[in-house]
Amino acid sequence: MLFNSIDFAIFLPIVFLLYWALNKRLLLQNAFLILSGFVFYGWWDWRYLGLLIFTSGTDYLVALGMERTDDDRRRKWLLAVSLIANLGLLGFFKYYDFFITSFHQAFTVMGLPFHLSTLNLILPVGISFYTFQSLSYTIDVYRKQLRATKHPITFFGFVSFFPQMLAGPIERARHMIPQFENTRTFDIAMARDGLRQMLWGLFKKIVVADNCAQIVNHFYASPEQHNGATLLLATVLFAFQIYGDFSGYSDIAIGCARLFGFELMRNFAFPYFSRDIAEFWRRWHISLNTWFRDYVYIPLGGSRGNKAFVVRNTMIIFLVSGFWHGANWTFIAWGAINALFFLPLVVMARHKTMSGTVAEGRMLPTARECSGMLLTFAMACFAWIFFRSQDMHQAYTVIGRIFSSSLFEAPEVSSMLTLVISLFGIGLTVLIEWISREKQYGLQLDGKATRPVRYALYYAIIAIIIVCAPLGGGEFIYFQF
């Protein structure tokens, strides 16, 4: 079920009313959230509910087993069961066809027969997200950083919480399970704040991402037929498309969770206002990056050791992050490129220098801050070429066209109206988020404007969404990951 669909517009009010009708009956509320999560997920394809239930059931039982023993060997075996079950399912559905295709190509080049065929598997939506969320629970229990929850409804509610099940934020059990265990009461201020954040997320998804997608998809479908200026425009629009799409989803998820009395972790912190690439990665997809930090980077040794050791660990994290995003060499290249951008800062010990908000306490940035933001955005856009391309050949074609004399030709326009709407949406997004850059999200304007001004803005945004929504607005990009 999509957040930007009529189905969800009907589903959400019904679930909201029935949920709060069970006020102060915690067990029933949690059970109802599980049922709602199953309906929400099964709306896409009910057959894949079995994977969600299997993942949740396995990790629930594994954690209980680890809780009941102090035998290190037994605890390691139980953790191995969780790792194999979770990563095995994820690897099979997400990477089986990729590896078979890659091996076939490699053996063909060597003149050797290779007879295994691909299965053309459909990737279950959300599997990369709920798998990592559930897996973090068993790892935390193994590390004795968290007690295993004995109530299955609590744990199943944590894994199947519908606002963030499909595309994050990837929550941690130590943050969410206590919220499922404690009685929740309706908070009108919290709900109102949630609705504002949902509205902002819908604006970024529908007005920015969906309109940009119309142009990006057209030009990236056949980049060899377009000049460098056109492909540069399409790449910049893609940077805002993926930001509007994914941060928009996160805003809707976080705001929706607040309607039910839950606080989710922040997933984006205005990343395009970053002054270097290290700051960008602290602000982009925060829940995934901190997951890799806690469960991969630190166990590898983190920043302990010499520079070569740190460089190795950093490179591993970026490559793994790229591979997590999809079974394609383009994603691995995207991760490697970002690592190459990041590593000079690590070597010079400057990867943590940009820790505060840009232009904090001031309306306008300095020339140095502007140049830093523009350079960081340019680096991100270059890497996005690989992320967006269907294969490496297409990525090289786009880069070759951009870095050619055709860059100085006039860009082509597939639809002037769509381009104007896209640029208007981008401009409004940048303006509002710049004003709110010290807040949690764009429309959190308390203290920045009077109440009449704020409500006028809310209604204006609703009108803009209605008027500027393109025909055929699609799924969220990260559903494919």
Catalytic residue numbers? 325
The strand pairing partners of 449, in sequence order, are 446
Sign of the torsion formed by the C-alpha atoms of 70, 76, 82 and 85? negative
The answer to whether 168 touches 129, Cβ cutoff 8 Å, is yes
Amino acid at 434: W
Place of tokens 């003149």: 111
Q: Does residue 169 have a cis bond before it (omega within 30 degrees)?
A: yes
Distance of CA 176 to the CA centre of its chain: 18
Query: Residue 314: which residues within 8 A CB-CB, separation 6 or more?
Result: 297, 339, 342, 343, 346
The answer to whether 251 touches 270, Cβ cutoff 8 Å, is no
Place of tokens 């009077």: 450
Q: For residue 234, what is the enclosing H or E element?
A: helix 228-259
State how far the alpha carbon of 200 is from the alpha carbons of 24, 190, 248, in Å: 30, 16, 7
Query: Residue 257: which residues within 8 A CB-CB, separation 6 or more?
Result: 161, 163, 164, 194, 263, 264
Considering only CA atoms, which of 1, 324, 329 is closest in space to residue 132?
A: 324
CA pair distance 164, 255, nearest whole angstrom: 10
CA pair distance 203, 4, nearest whole angstrom: 10
CA pair distance 323, 400, nearest whole angstrom: 25
Considering only CA atoms, which of 445, 473, 481 is closest in space to residue 200?
A: 445
Q: For residue 44, what is the enclosing H or E element?
A: helix 26-45
**Residue 446, phi then psi, degrees to nearest 5:** -55, 130
